Amino acid sequence: MIDFDPYSHRFQDDPYPVYRRLRDEAPVHWCARARVFSVTRHEDLRQVFKDPERFSSETRRLNRFGRSQTTAAQRVRILWRVLTQMRQNPLKMRDSRMLIMEDPPVHGQMRSLVNRGFTRRRIAQWEGRIRELVDECMERIRQQESFDLVTELAIPLPVTVISELLGVSAEDRHLFKRWSDNLIEGATGSAIENPIESGILDTLAELTRYMKPVIRARREKPREDLISVLVDETADDAGLDEFEIVMFILLLLVAGNETTTNLLGNCVDALLDPPAELEKVVADPSLVPALVEETLRFDAPVQQLRRVVRGDTELAGVKLPAGSELLLFIGSANRDERIFEDPDRFDVGRDTRGHLGFGLGNHFCLGSNLARLEAKAALEALVPELPKLARLRSERDFIDSFTIRGRARLELRRAA
Ligand code: HEM
């Protein structure tokens, strides 16, 4: 009997030994504390990802994380705040579409609209600007004896790129960062016991107030930015309304910001000790893309995703009643010894094909090209510097999230 709580900090700090036990002893496991089924083997995650008919992404139908219950008084407070602070009709808001929580066919219609902003060609055009931003960060880093890599590079790079991509003032990026932190902590961190009180609604209200005028301005006078693509009324498919555009921007903030930040932090953390893999990449910088993929496998920034079981079914011989919540542990599937040899070894030379770091199937990460480009540019600049740097502290501080895995800080100093 494996007794683990997916929402405990002890588990979060080092989930890998627990994942291994689960894979071996109970690959689909009823976790009574969290009232979810955990799924930990690669093969089973693949099956779930590939079958949205049986395993739905419409998780808004679940009670948040199966744990907290909203009281009638809380529900009234939520409605009041939605009406007054966001000036939004609560019924319309409930029915608004959100890409990551839709199933076919609605998901496909929305995805083809937003794909236009993320084609490989469109993203490749950002390479020069991304390298410029990396250079600015590296310039600041070179002037310091000791610094926090997360604050100096891993945070500012993706948040600036997203602001510029959306076409909002880069000067407001501190707002974007605050909003995405609040959303991640409120929706996936310690506050999951009481997400209603966590400030998520205030953040959503602020974001809505900020974005609505920008969206209206782009409707009147489109520019070469992502918001203009989203408001494009000539789009022949799922044209998004104003609130749905706000929700999509919110998704980009959460999905595109913290993940890339933590990919960079997790990568450098893995490279620093033991340094053998670092030496290989320093000697051969063409290994950087492989380094990015190995980090996505070895210490995935998105550790878990949720799905809901549509009708009574079975997975790996375990009966799953309709309405059950599944926690899909990407972090475990990526260390499944049935797929990856010696999976707990960080190895830039390995074949990483099949890792699930960006998910799989219809919801496969929309921003994967962008994330890969940012990570490549940042690591190509940083890797040659790393042999001259050492950790300031041996302890690891993780961000407050059970879904996203990453270092809150990574303080480095110039080696003597
Ligand atoms: C290392 C960085 C990243 C990682 C590890 C990551 C991971 C993921 C994963 C695992 C999913 C699948 C969700 C599901 O199946 O429910 C996903 C979806 C998504 N990602 Fe990323 N992501 C990253 C960067 C980005 C960036 C830079 C953006 C955009 C700027 C982005 C936007 C999205 C969006 C919009 C979706 C939803 C797609 C859909 O529902 O069709 N991601 N991401």
Helix H, strand E, coil C: the string for 138-150 is HHHHHCCCEEEHH
Angular region, 184: left φ>0, alpha ψ -120 to 50, beta rest:
alpha
pLDDT classification of 66: cutoffs 50, 70, 90: very low
How many angstroms separate the alpha carbon of residue 2 from the centre of ligand 1? 31
**What is the pLDDT of the chain when averaged over all its residues?**
89
Domain ranges of the chain: 71-300+358-414
CA 241 to CA 243: how far, in whole Å? Answer: 6
How far, in Å, from the CA of 367 to the mean position of ligand 1?
6
The CATH class, in words, for 71-300+358-414 is mainly alpha
Model confidence pTM above 0.85: yes
Handedness of CA 382, 383, 384, 390 (dihedral sign): positive
Q: What DSSP character marks residue 97?
A: -
CA of 74 to the centre of ligand 1 (A): 31
Distance of CA 112 to the CA centre of its chain: 21
Pocket of ligand 1 from Cβ distances under 6 Å = 57, 99-100, 111, 162, 251-252, 255-256, 259-260, 263, 301-302, 305, 357-359, 363, 365-367, 370-371
pLDDT digits (tens, 9 = 90+) for 307-327: 999 999 999 999 999 999 999
Q: What does the pLDDT look like over 248-280, one tens digit per residue?
A: 998 988 888 889 999 999 999 999 988 899 999
From 293, 365, 403, give the residue whose CB has the most ligand 1 atoms within 8 Å, as the site to mutate.
365
Q: Which of 70-79, 103-112, 128-137, 163-172 is predicted with the least confidence, judged by mean pLDDT?
A: 70-79
The answer to whether the beta carbons of residues 68 and 192 sit under 8 Å apart is yes
Chain position carrying tokens 């502290």: 393
Is the per-residue pLDDT at 54 higher than 90? Answer: yes
Cis peptide before 274 (omega within 30 of 0): yes
The more confidently predicted of residues 170 and 54 is 54
What tens digit of pLDDT does each residue of 225-246 get? 999 988 876 555 567 888 889 8
Whole-number pLDDT of residue 171 = 82
368 Cα to the center of ligand 1, angstroms: 7
Query: Which DSSP state fits 151?
Result: I
Give the range among 164-173, 253-262, 345-354 with minimum mean pLDDT: 164-173
C-alpha–C-alpha distance, residues 338 and 143, integer Å: 46
